Amino acid sequence: MSKHLPGGENFETRVPPGDNRERMVCGECGWVNYVNPKIVVGAVCRLEEKILLCRRAIEPRKGFWTIPAGFMEERESSEQGAAREAMEEANAHLIMGPLLAVYNIPRISQVQLIYKAQMASPVISPGPESVEVGFFDFDEIPWNELAFPSVTWALQQMRQVWDEDDFATFTNPAGETGAMTPP
């Protein structure tokens, strides 16, 4: 076990040499505990003319609909993480496509990598983080019940490149930071 535990008695908050912001630094050896943004990976999953959505069984935004997505794990690629999240949330097998979007959500220190994907099979069922899963035509999507702004962005941007695999990767829509507005 490492002796470098943030919050331990040997740590202090200061600007390390060569840096420009405060960090937790070990007062004995100078080891710096960097806290960096979290990477979220996910996919807009298509089955013919429909999109896979999952109703969340967990907070945040329990009961709201989302695309399968979650935190990337160590020692996996972003594509592997997006496929794993679809399996965990909807027992869905995917054929991964191109990167659809990279979203920056500074208020919660996240970078989100969202892929286009095709369903390898129409068989789905709720995983432990979902209470319900289903396929939706665009005009059936419960737009007022989507969990996060980035889900709305990804679905709208997916529609723009529905049958394309060669396109410029999207980012946050102009002026959007991912700030939540009251439901």
Q: What is the CATH number of the domain that holds 3?
A: 2.20.70
Alpha carbon distance 60, 54 (integer Å): 14
Average pLDDT score over residue span 141-154:
98
Considering only the C-alpha atoms of the chain, give the largest distance between any 2 of them, rounded to a whole number of Å: 60
Which tokens go with 73? 């794990």
Statement to judge: residues 78 and 112 lie in one domain: yes
Q: pLDDT tens digit string along 34-46?
A: 889 999 999 999 9
Domain extent, residue 56, equals: 38-160
Q: In this predicted structure, what is the pLDDT of residue 10? A: 85
Statement to judge: residues 47 and 25 lie in one domain: no
Statement to judge: residues 46 and 14 lie in one domain: no
Domain of 84: which CATH number?
3.90.79.10
Statement to judge: residues 74 and 150 lie in one domain: yes
Statement to judge: residues 13 and 83 lie in one domain: no
Statement to judge: residues 18 and 85 lie in one domain: no
User: pTM of the predicted model, to two decimals?
Assistant: 0.89
Statement to judge: residues 31 and 55 lie in one domain: no
Statement to judge: residues 96 and 113 lie in one domain: yes
pLDDT band at 8 (very low <50, low <70, confident <90, very high): low
Statement to judge: residues 54 and 136 lie in one domain: yes
Average pLDDT score over residue span 169-174:
96
Cβ-in-10-Å burial (0-12, 13-18, 19+) of 53 comes to buried
Q: In this predicted structure, what is the pLDDT of residue 1? A: 35
pLDDT band at 119 (very low <50, low <70, confident <90, very high): very high
Statement to judge: residues 1 and 73 lie in one domain: no
Average pLDDT for the chain:
93
pLDDT band at 4 (very low <50, low <70, confident <90, very high): low
Query: Residue 170 domain-assigned?
Result: no
Statement to judge: residues 55 and 105 lie in one domain: yes
List the one residue out of 182, 151, 172 whose CA is nearest residue 44: 151
Which tokens go with 122? 């129409």
Statement to judge: residues 24 and 61 lie in one domain: no
- Does the structure show a pLDDT above 50 at 183? no
| Count of structural domains, the chain | 2
Q: In this predicted structure, what is the pLDDT of residue 28? A: 87
pLDDT band at 7 (very low <50, low <70, confident <90, very high): low
